A and B are shown apart, each in its own frame.
Chain A
Amino acid sequence: MNLNTEAAKKNKFDAIVVGSGMSGGWAAKEFCEKGLKTLVLERGHKLDHVTDYQTATKAPWEFPHHNRPTQEDTTKDYPIQSVCYAFNEGTKYLWAKDTDHPYVQTKPFEWIKGYHVGGKSIMWARQTYRWADFDFESNLKDGHGCDWPIRYEDIAPWYSYVEKFAGINGNKDGLRQIPDGEFLPPIELTIVERHLRDKIHEFFPGRTLVHGRSANLTKSINGRTPCQFRNLCHRGCPFGAYFSSNGVTLPAAAKTGKMTLKTDSIVHSVIYDEKKNRATGVRVIDAHTNVMTEYYAKVIFLNAGTLPTTQIMLNSTSTRFPNGLGNDSGVLGHYLMDHNYRVRLGGQFDGFQDHYYKGRRPVTFYVPRFRNFADDKQTNFVRGYSFGGGVERGNMFNGGAWKDGFGADFKKEMAKPGPWYGSLYGMGECLPHFDNKVTLEPNKKDKWGIPLLNIDCQWRENEEAMIKDIKETGAEMLEKAGFKNVHVNDTHEPPGRGIHEMGTARMGRDPKTSILNGNNQLHAIPNVFATDGVCMASGACQNPSITYMALSARAVDFAVNALKKRDI
């Protein structure tokens, strides 16, 4: 038999999913469970669930620097990645080396990356909040961005679907801003958090503080072990107690026998057939040998992550699409958003000295949006923000250096629980701005010959006005609750550090102003879909991953039906 035909057959699949992370894992599971032979392409290295979590059970003294990052880390190998709050000696094996993955910052943008099977679904903070009905209407109502082609009713059943399988803990709060989901038991608040909540209710009607909601199991589901409250999630969980592709969706896909997972496989571009107006496959570069191979499928899902997916689309040019795949509108690369986490607040609480807790929680509390909602109308900014935070007792020894003393009594003091300390951080919605954009560098390429991404993005007027308000409302809530020495800090961090980069291939109703339709399908090419952060037409203020999961499951369902009906 002709070797070329053999090779071509080996490279042919029903579906190709680019990326094995948060959304790609879901696409893989859904395709495989629906019977499609699916190729999942992951640019990074293998990361097997549990057995590859090299540091998962290590104690601080088992690391050469007791978990502190080194100068080599922060100035040489990971100057950008090390700004991430979760980066330390124990977790750094999960962050992509900056020296291997350059990009160009026209304005400062901190692109946080995890390049391995599972992507950032291994290192995420696991917080999960549904979008509100009005979040899908924001663009229409205030004119920023283009109208979402879907509404909450379209996605609600899919939120339920993914929540049940992923395993989400939370309390049914009955709040419009964060609709209730399919919840496992919530993780209870500390006594001072309950006090803070009570004071917020007393002094600030319209505001509330609720249990955080996260993808950590508080009950066993599907044979998975529940959370052991070690709070070392960012290293990979040896119990599989939080949601990751590695622990949850990829195993489900693998179980069907329909998945082929190829690691170290970087997608260079989508192969487009102009006569058929279909993508026929993708071009893949082997990360180690630089050899290019083509793979073919009837349907392509792009789930490489917001920035990599758009990079692939911009790099997929043809006579029909000179400006990037499906880019008739010219908006590909535009309307990049992140959440701003710039405002950090904290204060000490002197009561409840004889109270403590046991265990290390993976999630704390959430203050849902109260601005420009219900009766609240702000004149200085549109949309809104939420807070995360916690009130815990740290250790006396942390900061103990500033306390007087040394010797035996001092040592005893330093071993005690620290004072109650409350911290809040704001999560601000970012408007979709046309000028916040990514493009391909014409002359700079990475070591695989792929043009570098140029990121030109900044916080603008609405974000800055919102930040001013976050400082005020955060401080007043802590002060009224009796916290002392309340300090407010603006980190002035640039976009990117929020790690919620979204947009650049937005969904919309009009092919003239958007890239994807209401089914996450390219307006211009019916068999190409994108369901990672790239598709977001606006950003809201909720952590986005659960929305990506829901959109992915929904879009695969649509795509498989369309394949059956021969629409694509």
Chain B
Amino acid sequence: MDRRYAIKQVALILGGISIAPEVMAKALANATNTLAAVLADNLILLAEMADTILPDTDTPGAKAAKVEEYIAVIVQDCFPPDRRDAFWRDLAAADNQCKALNRKGFVDCDLVQRTAFFNQLQQEAKDQPAFQQAPSFWITLKDLTLNGYFTSEIGATQALAYDPIPGGWIPDMKIDENTKAWTPMF
């Protein structure tokens, strides 16, 4: 199957698909409304935290990919109410904990200070007793950051091996330690 033919097909199809504009517009508007309800300071804090977890390297980091917006929208719209409320409380508590350690809020800390604070959170998460059901704030934050980044346009198309229309199936191929994972598309 000629790959170029397939891609031309997609171009034709994209021209033809009636994306029910009202449906997508409503969904996007709802997301914008969701963001509007989140405190601007929380978005800034999340952006800095996410960017410390996944910084600019040879590819842009979490801040460039606006991962803080993803995190906020998922917490607001997809988390059950108690987990949602707990997240914002825990975020505030984390910043206070950072202030206790570094005498500065996370946003004002340098990389050394941020690293020390994250190491503290990481250790506490490991020390968390096994019977505690809900994942710690640290795990939740990392999970949201990772998913938000690698499903963002920047993360998905630059940090992973982006292959939107594979065109075929190769059941086995050799890779090395530099091989990136294929971008998952859902």
A contact set with B: CB distance below 8 Å: 50-54, 56-57, 59-61, 63-72, 88, 90, 93, 187-191, 220, 225-226, 228-232, 238-239, 354-361, 393-398, 400-402, 404, 406-408, 410-412, 414-418
Residues B186 and A70 in contact, CB atoms below 8 Å apart: no
- Distance in angstroms from B139 CB to nearest chain A CB is 5
In the assembled complex, B85 has its CB within 8 A of some CB on chain A: no
Pick the residue among B17, B115, B142, B182 that contacts A400 (CB under 8 A). Answer: B142
Residues B17 and A358 in contact, CB atoms below 8 Å apart: no
Residues B176 and A357 in contact, CB atoms below 8 Å apart: no
Among B61, B81, B118, B184, chain A packs the most CB atoms within 10 A around the CB of B184
Pick the residue among B17, B19, B74, B81 that contacts A68 (CB under 8 A). Answer: B74
- Distance in angstroms from A241 CB to nearest chain B CB is 10
Closest-by-CB residue of B relative to A229 is: B166
In the assembled complex, B91 has its CB within 8 A of some CB on chain A: no
In the assembled complex, B80 has its CB within 8 A of some CB on chain A: yes
| Residues in B whose Cβ lies below 8 Å from that of A400 | 142-143, 146
Pick the residue among B1, B135, B148, B170 that contacts A66 (CB under 8 A). Answer: B148
Residues A228 and B31 in contact, CB atoms below 8 Å apart: no
| Residues in B whose Cβ lies below 8 Å from that of A395 | 150, 160, 181, 184
In the assembled complex, B77 has its CB within 8 A of some CB on chain A: yes
Bound complex: CA of A407 vs CA of B111, how far in Å? 10
| Residues in A whose Cβ lies below 8 Å from that of B180 | 415-417
Residues A407 and B164 in contact, CB atoms below 8 Å apart: no
Over the window 15-36 of chain B, the binary record of Cβ atoms lying under 8 Å from chain A Cβ atoms (1 yes, 0 no) is 0111110011001101100000
Bound complex: CA of A354 vs CA of B176, how far in Å? 6
Pick the residue among A65, A187, A356, A397 that contacts B173 (CB under 8 A). Answer: A356
Among B139, B151, B171, B180, chain A packs the most CB atoms within 10 A around the CB of B171
Over the window 157-186 of chain B, the binary record of Cβ atoms lying under 8 Å from chain A Cβ atoms (1 yes, 0 no) is 001100111111111111111011110111
Residues A415 and B156 in contact, CB atoms below 8 Å apart: no
Residues B170 and A359 in contact, CB atoms below 8 Å apart: yes
Residues B30 and A64 in contact, CB atoms below 8 Å apart: yes
Residues B186 and A60 in contact, CB atoms below 8 Å apart: yes
Bound complex: CA of A60 vs CA of B143, how far in Å? 16
In the assembled complex, B13 has its CB within 8 A of some CB on chain A: yes
Residues A239 and B169 in contact, CB atoms below 8 Å apart: no
Interface of chain A: mostly helix, strand, loop or mixed: loop
Bound complex: CA of A51 vs CA of B20, how far in Å? 10
Residues B79 and A71 in contact, CB atoms below 8 Å apart: yes
Bound complex: CA of A412 vs CA of B1, how far in Å? 34
Closest-by-CB residue of A relative to B17 is: A51
Residues B169 and A359 in contact, CB atoms below 8 Å apart: yes
A-B contact pairs, 26 of them (CB 8 A): A53-B17, A54-B24, A56-B13, A64-B73, A66-B152, A67-B151, A71-B77, A191-B172, A229-B169, A230-B185, A232-B185, A238-B10, A239-B6, A355-B173, A356-B175, A358-B168, A359-B168, A360-B166, A401-B140, A401-B143, A406-B53, A407-B52, A408-B55, A411-B55, A415-B180, A416-B181
Knowing A71-B78, A228-B165, the reply to whether A401 touches B172 (Cβ < 8 A) is: no
Knowing A226-B1, A238-B13, the reply to whether A65 touches B53 (Cβ < 8 A) is: no
Bound complex: CA of A60 vs CA of B154, how far in Å? 12
Residues B186 and A189 in contact, CB atoms below 8 Å apart: no
| Residues in B whose Cβ lies below 8 Å from that of A189 | 171
Over the window 104-120 of chain B, the binary record of Cβ atoms lying under 8 Å from chain A Cβ atoms (1 yes, 0 no) is 00000000000100100
| Residues in A whose Cβ lies below 8 Å from that of B19 | 54
Bound complex: CA of A63 vs CA of B78, how far in Å? 13
Among B27, B122, B182, chain A packs the most CB atoms within 10 A around the CB of B182
